[in-house]
Amino acid sequence: MPHVVVKLLAGRSEQQKGRLAAQLVKDVMTILNCGEESISVTIEDIKAGDWAEKVYNAKIAPNRERLYKKPGYNPFE
């Protein structure tokens, strides 16, 4: 049962987040060959001032070996 977590800088509209979730569900269904009923998506808004602490330093940097798409740069170094 795939659960997708997306962390975004705050400011995207509910429409944008809904479209993103819908597209992610479609892609997960296609790639993993599973039904829509087994997929869930969480979208977390993160304030720009909190991004380094709550996302980059906590989730990205310590897990670089598990990232399938790495950020192109680290704006916090």
- Is residue 2 part of the annotated active site? The answer reads yes
CA distance 61 to 51: 12
CA distance 63 to 77: 16
CA distance 2 to 15: 22
Active-site choice (2, 62, 71, 75): 2
| pTM of this structure | 0.87
Mean pLDDT of 10-37: 98
CATH number of 3-65: 3.30.429.10
pLDDT at 72: 83
* Per-residue pLDDT tens over the stretch 4-20: 999 999 999 999 999 99
